[in-house]
């Protein structure tokens, strides 16, 4: 697959299922796979019901962070606490 074909598949998927999720094409256990990373379980459930198992010959995997279940929780979670330097203190 050429980079242009890859970009076109990602663009088509984003237009069809929404641009809120992150899309990527990577090699998976079943060959080339379209990964859709959602912001929460609620969004991933919605997208999983819309997408087919295979899209343009690519197996489709929908993922989400397991500790964020709803859109409300996703809005509250900004990820900034992971940038806290106190979390990694080797001394």
Contact 36, 9 (CB under 8 A): no
> pLDDT-based confidence at 76, cuts 50/70/90?
low
Contact 63, 38 (CB under 8 A): yes
Q: What is the pTM of this model?
A: 0.75
Q: Is 61 a residue whose pLDDT tops 80?
A: yes
Tell whether the torsion through CA atoms of 56, 61, 62 and 65 is positive or negative: negative
> pLDDT-based confidence at 91, cuts 50/70/90?
low
pLDDT in tens, 45-57: 999 999 999 999 9
Residue entry with tokens 């990527």: 24
User: What's the rounded Cα separation, in Å, for the pair 64 and 38?
Assistant: 5
């Amino acid at each position: 697959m050429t980079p242009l074909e890859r970009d076109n598949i990602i663009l088509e998927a984003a237009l069809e299922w929404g641009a809120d999720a992150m899309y990527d094409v990577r090699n998976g256990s079943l060959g080339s796979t379209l990964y859709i990373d959602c912001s929460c379980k609620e969004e991933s459930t919605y997208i999983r019901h819309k997408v087919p198992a295979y899209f343009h010959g690519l197996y489709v995997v929908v993922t989400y962070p397991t500790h964020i279940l709803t859109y409300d929780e996703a809005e509250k979670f900004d990820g900034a606490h992971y940038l806290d330097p106190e979390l990694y203190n080797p001394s």
